[in-house]
Amino acid sequence: MKKNSMISALILAGGRGSRMGHVDKGLQPFRGTTMVQHVLERLAPQVGNVAINANQNLAAYAALKVPVWPDETTGFAGPLAGLEAGMRHCATPYMLSAPCDSPFLPGDLAARLFHALQSQGADVALAVTQEAGMRKQPHPVFCLVKTALLPVLSTYLAAGGRRVDGWYAELIVAEVLFDDSDAFRNINTLDELHSFDSARAPRRLQDVVSCLSDYDPDALPVRQAQQIIRDFVTPIRSVEKVALRSALDRVLAADIVSPISVPAHDNSAMDGYALRGADLRPDGPTTLTVIATVYAGRPSELVPAAGECVRIMTGGVMPAGCDSVIPQEFVANVGVGETDISIDAGTIRTGDNRRFAGEDLMAGSAALKKGKILRPADLGLLASLGIAEVPVQRRLRVAFFSTGDELRSIGETLDAGCVYDSNRYTLYGMLTRLGCDIVDMGIVKDDPQALEEALRNACENVDAIVTSGGVSVGAADYTREIMARLGDVTFWKIGMRPGRPLAFGQINSNGKSAYLFGLPGNPVAVMVSFYFFARAALLAMMGADAPLPLLRVKSAGAIRKKSGRTEYQRGILSVDADAAQQVAITGSQGSGILRSMSEANCMVVLHDEMGNVAAGDMVDVLMFEGLV
């Protein structure tokens, strides 16, 4: 979908949320994230930039990396105050508004409103829906306005006007009829929020793709496929408490609030002498008398007077009145029995080498956030807080198998025309790295009954199923028939190389359901499809916040690339003579050449809008370390 750079979008999140119990509606949890995040993801592909109008929790909204503009009109003026604030700050000639509590808004909202406004010579364009047998229902908060009309709106508000549809009464208005009334539905109460939450009311794939005006399953861009999958899957809800040592690589199921401050007291950052900064002379050496030694874990009640100090070890609690530490190597001993030390002027400044109580973590603050995958450093942090057990998501259960009569397992005789099944071992490694509980179902022959039995068996015992092979154009027709009969599955031809065919959806059997990822059969295509489609979905099901980390590096050589599709090329990241990072592709990029995947240490991601890459151009790179 092409962005319209002349339009800025404003998400209206400044309301009081009275019908939802006076909570901030935009920040309410919804389908694995928040309502405002859903609206933001719908609007961002349509417009040049997005901002949020909010009057509380500004930091939480700013964390979404978009501008946040509070109301500037005194008194509560409802959505129009937000609209006015947006028009005052908007740098584009048009502004599109949408409320934060409408997460299903159409993917073509901006395009259709803009077309109507231009073609009808209007000042304002707004969305309209009409239920069968009912009058047209205008939606004035879903509107596109000329920002030059700010004086009209401000005059209306200054005169006490508050009706959302009143300010443009004297203007030319274009009404645009949309077929899907649910796309403009406001979620106003907690009951409605719960009823629409996909964990309670699962959506159909059709519900998701209906928001995409240019959806074409036979020519689907990578980003669009990723968005559909992201919108469709939902996290599992099962939580368990595990011992700290067992929590490594698990997904945290709740925020961890620190029960103590770390460190608990002001302490020394090194071995040296604790002193009063006020005693340091600026014009010559300072001589101080050492009155005691303070060790870590053994605080002293001594209070050094002016001209006195204490020897202190790393981690030792700072004595009352002391605010600085001089490292022991920067002092000279003077006097009899090394009871006095001398410090040259300018050696340290007041406050140096002192760690404050709570500097690392304050009691009551969030030590770790829900959704974090726990790594070794996190275990250490939790141990420092005295936390012995942590709540984690239960492990995701994933079944996988390969399809094809030509496949043979390792140890079997390799007949003419047959190949050893490598994909199951690749999938085993990738799923194990994700921390899944896995079920290897082996090879399923090209037989309708065998395939249906395998899918039903998997569906009744796991959360997700990953298959390789059987989804290409040449696959047997029964594959589509069986998957369609078992649930809600779509087959895509994605604009990418390698790995064009992909099946995705949800199947059901005997009251159980599982998400299905049907990957292509070529070995490299399996890995690429898994990393860029299945991996993110499985992590979302785990409740994990772990986006793919892309690096931006220089291409060591020219790379041929057709625009209009995304290409994933195997690469080797290295450093050049100037110690700068560079990447070179591994040579032939055939989707069956698994050896090159083993030789590579990264994947070069060439997005669909890119063409040929010249040596020295910057490209995105996905490192394999930690993934493969």
Domain membership of residue 123 (yes or no) is: yes
Q: What is the mean predicted confidence (pLDDT) over 135-160?
A: 92
| 12 is annotated as contributing to ligand binding | yes
Average pLDDT over residues 405-413: 87
Q: Residue 343 sits in a domain of what CATH number?
A: 2.170.190.11
In this structure, is residue 335 part of a structural domain?
yes
Q: Report residue 377: phi and psi, to 5°.
A: -60, -35
Indicate whether 80 belongs to any domain. yes
pLDDT of residue 200: 42
Report whether pLDDT(143) > 70. yes
- Claim to verify: residue 272 and residue 257 sit in the same structural domain: no
- 613 and 574 inside one domain: yes
Structural domain boundaries, residue 370: 239-262+360-393
CATH number at residue 254: 3.90.105.10
**DSSP H or E stretch at residue 109:** helix 109-119
Quick check: 5 pLDDT over 60?
Answer: yes
Residues 324 and 449 in one domain: no
Residue 344 pLDDT:
94
Residue 96 lies in a domain: yes
Query: Which one, of 101, 115, 109, lies nearest residue 127 by Cα?
Result: 109
> Is 217 contained in some domain?
no
Query: Which pair of tokens denotes residue 226?
Result: 């990723």
Instruction: Answer yes or no: do 174 and 132 share one domain.
Output: yes
CA pair distance 581, 569, nearest whole angstrom: 17
CB 157 within 8 A of CB 73: yes
**pLDDT bucket at 193, cuts 50 / 70 / 90:** low
Of the ranges 137-141, 395-399, 560-564, the best mean pLDDT one: 395-399
Which pLDDT value is given to residue 413? 86
- Asked whether the predicted pLDDT for residue 360 surpasses 90, the reply is no
Give the orientation angle of helix 448-459 with respect to helix 477-486, to 10 degrees. Answer: 30
Q: How far apart are CA 124 and CA 145, in angstroms?
A: 5
Is 175 part of any domain? yes
Percent of the chain clearing pLDDT 90 (strictly above): 58
Same domain, 83 and 134: yes
pLDDT at residue number 31: 73
Domain containing residue 514: CATH number: 3.40.980.10
88 and 28 in a single domain? The answer is: yes
* Residue linked to tokens 């909010």: 54
Residue that is last in its domain, among 393, 415, 449: 393
pLDDT of residue 475 exceeding 60: no
Domain boundary residue among 156, 176, 191? 191
CA atoms within 13 A on the CB side of 500: 11
24 is in an annotated binding site: no
Please count the CA atoms within 13 angstroms of the CA of 269 that sit on its side-chain side: 14
How many Å separate Cα 31 from the centre of its chain? 13
Q: Are residues 500 and 478 in the same domain?
A: yes
Pair 600, 586: CB distance under 8 Å = yes
Q: Are 401 and 389 within one domain? A: no
Boundary-marking domain end, from 161, 191, 221: 191
CATH number of 616's domain: 2.40.340.10
Residue 201 — very low, low, confident or very high, per pLDDT cuts 50/70/90? very low
Number of domains the chain is built from: 5
Q: Can you tell me the distance from the alpha carbon of 353 to that of 270, in angstroms, rounded to the nearest whole number?
A: 7
Say what the pLDDT of residue 180 is.
Answer: 76
Q: Do residues 454 and 339 share a domain? A: no
Which residues are within 8 A (CB) of 153 and not within 5 positions of it... i.e. 6 or more apart?
A: 80, 83, 84, 87, 167
pLDDT-based confidence at 195, cuts 50/70/90? low
pLDDT at 628 over 50: no
What pLDDT is recorded for position 23? Answer: 66
Q: What is the average pLDDT across 200-210?
A: 66
151 in helix, strand or coil?
A: helix
Residue 14 among known ligand-binding residues: yes
Residue 382 lies in a domain: yes
570 domain residue, yes or no: yes
* Cα–Cα distance measured from residue 38 to residue 15, given in angstroms and rounded to the nearest whole number: 18
- Specify whether 323 is located in the same domain as 432: no
Beta pairing, strands 397-403 & 464-468: parallel
Q: Are residues 466 and 345 in the same domain?
A: no
- pLDDT tens digits along 74-87: 776 688 999 999 99
Q: Are residues 500 and 563 in the same domain?
A: no
